[in-house]
Amino acid sequence: MARPGARLAAMPRAGTESWSERAQRVLAESHRHSGGARRAVVELLDSQSCALSALEIEDALRTGRRRVARASIYRILDELERLELVQKVEVGQAMARYEPLRGENGHHHHLVCDSCGAVMPFTDPELERAIKKTSRRVPIDVAVHEIVLHGACADCRQ
Amino acid sequence: MARPGARLAAMPRAGTESWSERAQRVLAESHRHSGGARRAVVELLDSQSCALSALEIEDALRTGRRRVARASIYRILDELERLELVQKVEVGQAMARYEPLRGENGHHHHLVCDSCGAVMPFTDPELERAIKKTSRRVPIDVAVHEIVLHGACADCRQ
DNA sequence: GGCAAGAATAGGACTAAGTCTCATTTCTGG
DNA sequence: CCAGAAATGAGACTTAGTCCTATTCTTGCC
């Protein structure tokens, strides 16, 4: 299975508070205790530029900073999602992916190669404007939007 | 896996062919035999206005036209997807949904209420134009696109 | 620092969506 | 109608994700 985000460089810091710092702060404000598993997951997510699946996270942590149980990973991701610190991304591979919500300047969408499974981020200001406009005239209170373009990547097209 | 350019799409006919008829024709052109399970799935899909999951299809067929084995349903859906007759839609509920691709005038996207799970279709010509433009400047050959707006529906917002 | 209360986590059984394999049935051209 | 090929059914299997419980860790307080 493709592990697209796993080798990309860390995102540059925007402003004064990194996503990881903000996440730790928001978590602290909504909890009495803070634990090592949560910190490890947050730090791993912050070091990635695109979405990771829960099992990729488990794997990366097992061979890296600190082993974290699968149940804990899912619990932590659910909580981060509820606090709107991460977004759950479904790109059509029977596996949810999660990535930090960094606000405007980290916001992006996804290209998926249906043949090799690669996932790549992309951005488009014009598309953002159009989708924001659409969101206003639609019968739900839109909290997040998600755009996925499916097709064949350069390697698979040949 | 799906290779979008690899197969000829049938020419759309001039006016009056239903999706089910077109699907049957395209299937016939790419097969030597045609069977009852495939017909039942195609007819069920054509009678729906929005996306169904594989298990909903199994259920509907069991209590309706003709029992179809789960493996057959998945096989048939995969094939319909490869032929670009249906689109697989992931709306973030750990379950894929499938719906007929009826061309321009059936094309739509999805609103999902994250609290009650309701899925609703919506359309927006301006958004379509924006996304078509984006698709041209992106490093994959875009075959289909998918937009999901998540939020709270009128009932859940109260 | 030590302690108690309760939160966080690990571990593993469990559920459910989806896949695979292979035997059986059905379709088709001749 | 027959033979060969395609379609389908049945159920074991895989894997993402959930649930429960015992254990460990964090925190406020002394």
Handedness of CA B133, B139, B144, B146 (dihedral sign): negative
pLDDT digits (tens, 9 = 90+) for A18-44: 999 999 999 999 888 999 999 999 999
Strands A109-113 and A140-153 come out as: parallel
Closest-CA distance of chain A to residue B88, Å: 8
Q: A140 pLDDT exceeds 70?
A: yes
Closest-CA distance of chain A to residue B145, Å: 4
In a domain, B107, yes or no: yes
Which residue's CA lies closest to nucleotide C28 at its C1' atom?
A: B33
- Of B130, B145, B150, which has the smallest distance from its Cβ to A130's Cβ? B130
Residue A156 contacts residue B3 (beta carbons within 8 Å)? yes
pLDDT digits (tens, 9 = 90+) for B86-108: 988 887 677 889 999 887 777 88
Question: What distance in Å separates the CA atoms of residue A145 and residue A142, rounded to the nearest whole number?
Answer: 7
Residue A118 contacts residue A98 (beta carbons within 8 Å)? no
Q: Which residue has the higher pLDDT, A132 or A1?
A: A132
Q: Span B98-120, mean pLDDT?
A: 83
In a domain, B11, yes or no: no
- Chain A, residues 49-108, CB within 8 A of chain B, namely 88, 90-92, 94, 96
Residue of A nearest to B109 (CA): A147
Contact A114 B145 (CB under 8 A): no
**Contact pairs from chain A to chain B, CB under 8 Å:** 138
Which residue's CA lies closest to nucleotide C10 at its C1' atom?
A: A69
Please state, rounded to an integer, the average pLDDT across all residues of chain A: 85
- Of A114, A124, A146, which has the smallest distance from its Cβ to B2's Cβ? A114
In a domain, B138, yes or no: yes
In a domain, B32, yes or no: yes
pLDDT digits (tens, 9 = 90+) for B25-70: 999 999 889 999 999 999 999 998 788 999 999 999 998 889 999 9
* Bases of chain C with protein Cβ within 7 A: 6-13, 17-21, 26-29
The secondary structure of residue B21, as a DSSP letter, is H
Strands B96-100 and B86-90 come out as: antiparallel
Q: B2 pLDDT exceeds 70?
A: no
Contact B113 A140 (CB under 8 A): yes
Please state, rounded to an integer, the average pLDDT across all residues of chain B: 84
Which residues are within 7 Å of strand C by their Cβ atom? Answer: A 31-39, 66-72, 75-76, 94; B 32-36, 53-55, 70-71, 74, 78, 94-96
Only one residue has tokens 């495939």, namely B38
The nucleotide closest to A38 (CA, C1' atoms): C8
Contacts of residue B131 in chain A, CB cutoff 8 Å? 127, 130, 147, 149
Contacts of residue B135 in chain A, CB cutoff 8 Å? 149
- Domain CATH number, residue A74: 1.10.10.10
Q: A13 pLDDT exceeds 80?
A: no
Contact B5 A139 (CB under 8 A): no
CA A62 and chain centroid, separation: 19
What confidence category does residue B132 fall into, taking pLDDT thresholds of 50, 70 and 90? very high
- Domain range for residue A10? 4-157
Domain count, chain A: 1
Contact A149 B133 (CB under 8 A): no
* Strand order through the sheet with B119-122: A119-122, A109-113, A140-153, B140-153, B109-113, B119-122
